[in-house]
Amino acid sequence: RLAYVNGSFVPHAHAVIHIEDRGNQFSDAVYEVWGVIDGELTDFDGHLKRLDRSLSELRIRRPMTDKALASILFRMVEVNRIRNGLIYLQISRGTARRDHVFPTDTVPPSIMITAKSMSPEKAEARAQKGIAVITQKDIRWGRRDIKTVSLLPNALAKQAAKEAGAAECWMIDPDGFITEGSAANAWIVTKDGVLVTRPATNDILNGITRRIIFDLASREGLTFEERAFTRDEALAAREAFITSATSFLTPVVEIDGNPVGNGHPGSLSLQLRKSYVATAKERSRK
């Protein structure tokens, strides 16, 4: 297994970044995750664009052109022989003696990329069964729209879910509305068959998969609404699901121990998951 670190492909076991990397000390770094389906990076341009946005918002320099970056990402899929899985990329503001203030412009950003294989069969089985989620207060910062590695609240939420026998934790804002999951966007389908997910403001990460689901829903003549929904509304929903680049669309069948709908994955959820996978090729770049 090979990783990419600051200009070189190196064995994963020996891939290191400096102790004074600002990603390590200040979470002063952004990341991006591409799903790989049948050997191809899914929604390639969407993720690259969001990476550019995350970097701009934090004024971290791009380490290279998008073209150069693309060729390294494709190479990572190849050399690690990833058929299905993910590519993880992280860019920090660089390595400098610890100081909250940004280092000078002469300090280059650091970049690291890893690859991981995942079993599509396992993921599919999980989706067909559906997952349980718990809910907890959202204790994250005010710029959740930027994909930063500041993920401690997300890790705590996911751990709480695991300890409760659930797969995800939906987080709740001070007004009682669900923001999103610890690593995925949150959706419900109302009794009237309307897909609902929270609008993309600073409160959530604007998922690339989330936007693809809008496209697919439109194509299939389904109605959707971008608005916040409460836990009570989710409990009364006909269906619920999560979306992310690595889980695609996974039905939620239980919220805080209560069944969603009839307690089985919803038909619209499964239909959209199928469309997502079926159209992955047309949304990929080799």
Residue among 2 and 166 whose Cβ is closer to ligand PLP: 166
Least distance in Å: CB of 286 to ligand PLP?
20
Using DSSP, state whether 88 is helix, strand or coil. Answer: strand
Residue among 2 and 30 whose Cβ is closer to ligand PLP: 30
> What's the length of the chain?
286
- How does DSSP classify residue 12? G
Least distance in Å: CB of 98 to ligand PLP?
27
Strand partners, 112: 5, 90
Burial per residue of 152-176, b for 16 or more beta-carbon CB atoms within 10 angstroms, e otherwise: ebbeebbeebeeeebbbbbbbbeee
**Cα–Cα distance for residue pair 4/2, rounded to 1 Å:** 7
- At 166, the amino acid letter reads A
Name the residue among 49, 203, 219, 209 with its Cα closest to residue 138.
203
Catalytic annotation, pick one of 116, 147, 162, 281: 147
209 to 20, 96, 160, 284: CA distances (angstroms): 34, 35, 25, 13
Least distance in Å: CB of 32 to ligand PLP?
8
Residue among 2 and 127 whose Cβ is closer to ligand PLP: 127
Least distance in Å: CB of 30 to ligand PLP?
12
Least distance in Å: CB of 14 to ligand PLP?
27
Least distance in Å: CB of 210 to ligand PLP?
6
Structure tokens at 225: 């609404």
Residue among 74 and 214 whose Cβ is closer to ligand PLP: 214
Instruction: Say whether 274 is catalytic.
Output: no
Name the residue among 260, 240, 238, 237 with its Cα closest to residue 249.
240
- How does DSSP classify residue 95? B
**Cα–Cα distance for residue pair 282/259, rounded to 1 Å:** 35
Residue among 185 and 250 whose Cβ is closer to ligand PLP: 185
| Cβ neighbour number for residue 278 with a 10 Å cutoff | 10
Residue among 23 and 94 whose Cβ is closer to ligand PLP: 23
Strand 195-197 versus strand 224-226 pairing type: parallel
Residues in touch with ligand PLP (CB under 6 A): 33, 154, 180, 183-185, 205, 207-210, 243-245
Q: Which residues are catalytic?
A: 147
